[in-house]
Every structure is written in structure tokens, then in C-alpha cells.
Copies of this chain bind each other. A is one copy, B any other.
């Protein structure tokens, strides 16, 4: 470990518009390159090339390669929690089926953009402790909320709500990833219907 605590924060705050533009180009290019080549083979030089900027510029906004991945993942997590929080401000449907539908749809929508990138993110990111914790926290929150939901809802008839909550979250997250990222992806709407049906019948006993 370097003495200066292996930075993840950008080394410089952009002060001109072109700087912010360059940052965005780098992130967009990184998303494509990582999705196409994987993390290890997605070299920083390739990212710079794809972004149409020099390698030097890249390192003016990101202290190292990991920081780029971290930023991409952070964005995804923030987008997801923001979307979920927004839904939670309004009133939820009554039936457990429709509640599930809301959240499954949220998950599907969050991954329709670039499923390959997302898959990559959640696979490679766990190398870093900081990101591992952040992911773990988000997941634990989701499981917690799900558990509360299961315990408080009259239609639900599962004995062990803790286990059921974990199963529900894992199923949604992973199945969405997998099915959407496959070479022959399932139709998103149909996936939503079937998954909602499965979860609903499960928790209703």
C-alpha cells in the first residue's frame, strides 16, 4: 500500500465545461470497454483511445483504474436506491403481487441499459473492500425492507421471513442479470410477469 492511502477520489475537480465533458467521455468509454473486454483486459489506454482523449488526460480525473470502476458502480447503486426511494415516497399497492411487480419492474429497468456492464461491475468490483462493503450495505438494506414487508403484509404466509427475504432479493437480482445478459435474452415484460408470479405464489404459501 502506498503511504498516501490509495485514492479513489478524483485528483482534481473540473472547473471548465470541457473538463466535465472529458470526464463524461471517459466514463462512457470505460463502460463500453469494460463491457466488451472485461475488467482486466479493459486497459486504460484502450479507454482513453475510445474516449478520443490522451492517456494523460484520463489520469487527471481518475487516480487509477479501480477508481473508474468504482465510479461506474457507485452511479449504478445510487441510481437504483434513488429510484427505490422515489417509489417509496408514494403509496404502494395493496396486493403483494402488485408490490412485487413494482420492484421487479424497477430492477428490470435498472438493468436494461447496459446489462453486460452491470454484470461485469458486480462480478469484478468485489475485489475492493470499500466497494464490497457498499454493495453489502445496499443488499442488506434491501433484504431488511423486504423482510419488513413480508412480516407486515396480511397475504404473506412464510414461516421464516428472513430466509424468504434473502431468497426473494437474490432471485430478483440474479435472475434479472442473467436472463437479460444472455445472448438470447428473454422479453423483459414476460420476465417480469413470470417472476412476479413465482414470488407471489411463493410467499402466499
Contacts and interface: CB of A to CB of B under 8 A. Distances in A.
Contacts of A194: 160, 163-164, 167
Contacts of A202: 197-198, 201-202
Interface residues of A, number: 33
Interface in A77-131: 123, 127
Q: Which label, helix, strand, loop or mixed, suits the secondary structure of the A interface?
A: helix
Query: For the complex formed by this chain, how many copies does it contain in all?
Result: 2
Interface in A122-178: 123, 127, 136, 160, 163-164, 166-167, 170-171, 173-175, 177-178
The 3 closest A-B pairs by CB, nearest first: A174-B174, A198-B202, A40-B40
A182 to B, nearest CB: 9
20 contacts: A38-B127, A40-B40, A136-B183, A160-B190, A163-B186, A163-B194, A166-B179, A166-B186, A167-B195, A170-B175, A170-B178, A170-B179, A171-B175, A171-B198, A173-B178, A174-B174, A174-B177, A175-B175, A198-B202, A201-B201
